[in-house]
Structure 1
Amino acid sequence: MNKALFLDRDGIINIDHGYVHKIENFEFVDGIFELCQLAISKGYQIFVITNQAGIARGYYDKQTFEALSQWMVSKFEEQNVSIGKVYYCPHHPDKGVNEFVMSCDCRKPEPGMIMQAQQEYSIALADSIFIGDKISDMQAASNAGIETRILVDSRYTNESNIVDLAGVSRVDSLKQALGLIG
């Protein structure tokens, strides 16, 4: 069995400007390449797990998202970081303009994308790590059985929306998360 580092995209890999879908708006978060290089040196495979409701809302289409993802993966490769796969959920349960408006088992906090990666890559989820910036990231990781969950504080983690975060490590930045990659 393999161990994985699962990363949310917006807010963890790139600065979250809201529905980022163009290369010119994609800014890597400081420390993301260093974090991934460390994880690889410790035997982790890297996967991206991202909700992309902008597709359901009609802000961009799947092809645009996939092209941006290919560009992003190539930028990681330039830094000697291999991304196993980018998993994304194009759905939203009630907001949107197309066939992707629906409930599903892949939209975080549901664990569907993580479980798909686990099946496709024989991942030992109990030995894996999830880093995200939203409570739904932590819930999806917990629902999948990932014990090491790292929440990077963001505009989505103010004290009023914090629910049960037992077992979650909270950090201010990716640089602080480096010490939690074991």
Structure 2
Amino acid sequence: MSGAVQRPAAFLDRDGVVNHDDGYMGTRERIRWMPNAAKAIRRLNDAGYFVFFFTNQSGVARGFFTEAELNILHDWMRAELAAQGAVVDDVRYCPHHPEGTVAGYLEDHHWRKPAPGMIHDLMEHWPVRHAGSFVIGDRASDIEAGRAVGLPGFLFAGGDLDAFVAEVMAQTSVR
């Protein structure tokens, strides 16, 4: 990665930020997009940010859906957004939960928010510039994950995601 141009990144939680959190979202039929989600991601793209989803998905550990089904959902979400000119550069998810029921997923994994493992992994695989990067989440655990790597976090309570992103960008822009 040496020599790659560093860019700031927006680390977006999925459920409750990009789409409504209706509980264990394993299939596209259940996805209800947050208002102006694609427009918000396009705004970030146009400003030169990497856009990443980082999401706890304990529904895998709980047996509600498989990792394969989750990956199909993420591919579909990225394609739906891309059709509107909104590019999600990469996705990280944590399928683990210590209270799950599916063998192999029953741990408090270092990727599970509030731990910062997903953010660390994305920063290792992409030329992320720390300055100007930020986290948007709908829970304290999202914000704590960002804080653990020194990134500002912004708590999203729902509504127009594009207006919220515009405000966050105004507060975090590095000239």
TM-score by length of 1: 0.85
Amino acid at match of 2:157: D
Instruction: Give a deviation string over 1:107-140, Cα, whole Å, max 9, x none.
Output: 0000000000001002123320111100000000
1:178 aligned residue (157, 163, 166): 166
Superposed CA RMSD: 1.4
Point out which structure has higher relative CO (alpha carbons under 8 A, 6+ apart): 2
Task: Provide the aligned length of Structure 1 versus Structure 2.
Answer: 164
- Equivalent residue for 1:153? 157
In structure 1, give the amino acid aligned to 2:55. Answer: T
Tell me how far apart the structure 2 counterparts of residues 51 and 42 of structure 1 sit (CA, whole Å): 27
Q: Describe how 1:80-99 pairs up with structure 2 within 5 A.
A: 80-99=85-104
Counterparts of 2:58 and 2:131, CA distance in 1: 28
Is the 2:14–2:55 contact (alpha carbons within 8 Å) kept by the matching residues of 1?
yes
CA distance in structure 2 between the partners assigned to 1:24 and 1:133 by the alignment: 22
Contact residue 152 and residue 173 of structure 1 kept, 8 A = no
* Structure with the largest fraction of strand: 1
Amino acid at match of 2:166: L
Residue from 1, 6, 12 that aligns with 1:7: 12
Counterparts in 2 of 1:80 and 1:173: CA distance versus 1, 3 Å: closer
For residue 130 of structure 1, what is the amino acid of its counterpart? V
Is 1:107 the counterpart of 2:112 in the alignment? yes
Q: Distance in 1 between matches of 2:14 and 2:140?
A: 14
Gaps of at least 5 residues in structure 1 are 155-171
Q: Does the Cα contact within 8 Å between 1:58 and 1:98 map onto a contact in 2?
A: no
AA at the equivalent of 1:179: E
Structure 2: distance between partners of 1:126 and 1:51: 25
Identity %, equivalent residues = 32
Deviation, 1:93, is: 2.2
Taking the TM superposition and a 5 Å limit, the aligned residue runs for 1:8-23 are 8-23=13-28
Counting only pairs closer than 5 Å after superposition, residues 27-106 of structure 1 correspond to structure 2 as 27-106=32-111
CA contact (8 A) 2:20 2:33 kept: yes
Distance 1:176 1:132 in 2: 11
Q: Deviation at 1:173?
A: 4.6
Letter of the 1:18 partner, please give it.
Answer: G
The gaps in structure 2 that reach 5 residues or longer are 1-5
